[in-house]
Structure 1
């Protein structure tokens, strides 16, 4: 986008922020005609103060408007720098596999090195370190894309497996930070590449990423159908009864349940959760096969999350209160912090804003990025502050200030 005129950049970011020209003009204190002329290049933007005002409204670094590399913020815990998202977008826009069809592929790192890097990326995600992950993802995407384009045979299948995993990691973190369209694109790529890897379970778990992205985009019906259809094809006794197979099958049912909760369809939610629970009982204990964190404890976390989506916060709180503390504490930070965010929503639903705020603080201590980088957490915190009588607790007020959340 560096070669675009500045007016086109303004139009691009205004569209990304889903602001009409009129709303944007009102916030800027200008007329709609003025905005239209700027975006068409009829009127020049030559005042730095106006550029800063535009950048503030669009929530981007002013350098992006000028076509330069933005300066990275030092307060990385408060969220993800927009430059990182744009670099991930640029990496997703590469088509090395197609290029290799016409010309020799570019050199790629050795596969063992890539395997280590992908494993590290998964752990970075599951420990909730999203800012660190988004800085690493652009290069990891380019490297695994090059490997997928450059290797053939058995090595080609390994490279495709790694690329599918990286697409899944990218989809997961992009969805967390509200970049749902990109999350869907990355997840869709993951399913296609998994087929080249000749790994049905990898394709199955990639399907859950597609479903999660669809739900985030407000498309729960196709997400439900997709997850259930693939789960039926991987059902125990039909294809795979290994621990890995049970984990992927169960995870498909869990994500189907979350999609059903958004419809809402309480009966389907219960049926799918019960099916996932059967798989977890066969598996025995909590495991991380195919990076699913699947097991009895994760079933309960999803059950609570589904009740929150159904508006039954009280039932979600009851589930949390009966969770075995050792099993919950044994889960990786992303899972626990995600649950605490769901629990904050549950407490807010039943009017207990004190405990809602406490859950946000606990989640922030456990995994700051899970709270500070997620739009839903900002919404919950704003709701808690609005409904708190008198001054909010000092730690909650400090978190709100750091996140830039007001009443």
Structure 2
């Protein structure tokens, strides 16, 4: 039997933005108008600029026409860098607050070159002569996923393991046959999913798409439904973060349809990945402003969690009771229901979540809710907690960087020093 999902997508390589073009902008222009004027003055098409920001042309069209508000500081920085604007106020029209210098370059991590080489320089050599045990390979992958969720410096520590894991998993697939090869393909898919997580927001767009596609292809070649669903969850992340919400929902819903008929007799991890797909869809719908769909998907995930043992946690997505509760806060925040999000956070015990990475992101969501309510002091204190829990999670997650940047720019005088210290730690304070 063949289990399949069609989720492949090809994106053209973006062209570099011309430098040195100067333009006079009227003070009464909106942010969208300013972006459009700057883009056109540099001779850039809308698809080109959108792709340089890791987004789709429809997203940029909505920004330029004022249909969608641009509140994400990280995306503002990406737009400014792509347009070769050195001062963010040129785009925002806001000269208040600290100097808003734009760092012209992508957010990066020192582990990326070695990971890039392992992924993009895949050998075409014949089968490796040495034997491989797929169970040992899968054990190494599982340990790496556990490290991802339990380390405060997960990108650095997991990133150091990935190059060898990628090469060994690729070699195992070439060397093995039959059931052993299918097991190795599942491990390879898991490796590429982990690579996608560990390089999110720091990898060039082409690597993110290659990794997501290879994870899905390996899972389909293994003909293993749970692995396909997990790879679809990963592909959905890429689609959502590049402003393709409809495609993201299509992929995760197709994956859910694939395994739903088998859930009654399936292992717990099949239900776990099914629940993770529901939570993914809930956040995707919430970010797209689809309140009814968002809460419906979240309710589906809630029902799955109730059907599993209370202590159950999916090994890679950490789906379980705690993650469902955490996602309820995320959905409320994305729907700008700040009062509800903060009220829910009051009833959550963060220690029930075994993932440090997910706990740090929880407090980022709570900080976002406080900012929506204009509660800067509470937002700062919560963000300090988030950074203490997972420093690299905060430093490399756009929503966290956005909160830190907002606090740095807008905090009251009495909080200015603390907000500046946080911004410096996160890496958003530039002079």
Q: TM-score, normalised by structure 1?
A: 0.75
Q: Quick one: distance in 1 between partners of 2:21 and 2:129? A: 43
The number of aligned residues is: 340
Task: State the partner residue of 2:343.
Answer: 318
- Structure-2 change in CA distance of 1:109 and 1:308 (3 Å): same
Q: 1:183-222 maps to which residues of 2 (within 5 A)?
A: 183-222=208-247
Kindly indicate whether the alpha-carbon contact (under 8 Å) linking 1:180 and 1:213 is maintained by their aligned counterparts in 2.
no
Q: Quick one: distance in 1 between partners of 2:21 and 2:249? A: 36
Q: Secondary structure at the match of 2:19?
A: helix
1:145 Cα deviation after fit: 1.1
Kindly indicate whether the alpha-carbon contact (under 8 Å) linking 1:317 and 1:347 is maintained by their aligned counterparts in 2.
yes
1:81 aligns with 2:78: no
1:152 aligns with 2:169: no
Kindly indicate whether the alpha-carbon contact (under 8 Å) linking 1:297 and 1:328 is maintained by their aligned counterparts in 2.
no
Could you say which structure has the greater relative contact order, defined with CA pairs below 8 angstroms and 6 or more residues apart? 2
Deviates more, 1:104-113 or 1:389-398: 104-113
**For 1:193-220, what per-residue CA distance to the aligned partner results, in whole angstroms no more than 9, with x for missing partners?**
0122232111111111100111011111
Deviates more, 1:202-211 or 1:170-179: 170-179
Corresponding residue to 1:234 among 259, 265, 268: 259
- Structure-2 change in CA distance of 1:177 and 1:317 (3 Å): farther
1:354 aligns with 2:377: yes
Q: Quick one: distance in 2 between partners of 1:108 and 1:394? A: 58
Kindly indicate whether the alpha-carbon contact (under 8 Å) linking 1:176 and 1:374 is maintained by their aligned counterparts in 2.
yes
1:178 Cα deviation after fit: 6.4
Structure 1: state its 5+ residue gaps. 1-14, 27-31, 33-55, 61-78
Q: Quick one: distance in 2 between partners of 1:85 and 1:395? A: 31
Corresponding residue to 1:20 among 17, 25, 35: 17
- Structure-2 change in CA distance of 1:157 and 1:199 (3 Å): same
Q: Quick one: distance in 2 between partners of 1:399 and 1:229? A: 41
How much is the aligned-residue C-alpha RMSD, in angstroms? 2.9
**For 1:84-112, what per-residue CA distance to the aligned partner results, in whole angstroms no more than 9, with x for missing partners?**
2232222222444xx35xx3446576545
1:366 aligns with 2:366: no
Q: Quick one: distance in 1 between partners of 2:300 and 2:157? A: 36
Q: Quick one: distance in 2 between partners of 1:377 and 1:121? A: 24
- Structure-2 change in CA distance of 1:329 and 1:295 (3 Å): closer
Kindly indicate whether the alpha-carbon contact (under 8 Å) linking 1:172 and 1:183 is maintained by their aligned counterparts in 2.
no
- Structure-2 change in CA distance of 1:362 and 1:23 (3 Å): farther
**For 1:66-85, what per-residue CA distance to the aligned partner results, in whole angstroms no more than 9, with x for missing partners?**
xxxxxxxxxxxxx8534x22
- Structure-2 change in CA distance of 1:59 and 1:158 (3 Å): same
Task: State the partner residue of 2:410.
Answer: 387
Structure 2: state its 5+ residue gaps. 1-12, 24-41, 43-101
**For 1:114-139, what per-residue CA distance to the aligned partner results, in whole angstroms no more than 9, with x for missing partners?**
33321221012112411111222122
Q: Quick one: distance in 2 between partners of 1:304 and 1:105? A: 48
Kindly indicate whether the alpha-carbon contact (under 8 Å) linking 1:224 and 1:257 is maintained by their aligned counterparts in 2.
no
Q: TM-score, normalised by structure 2?
A: 0.71
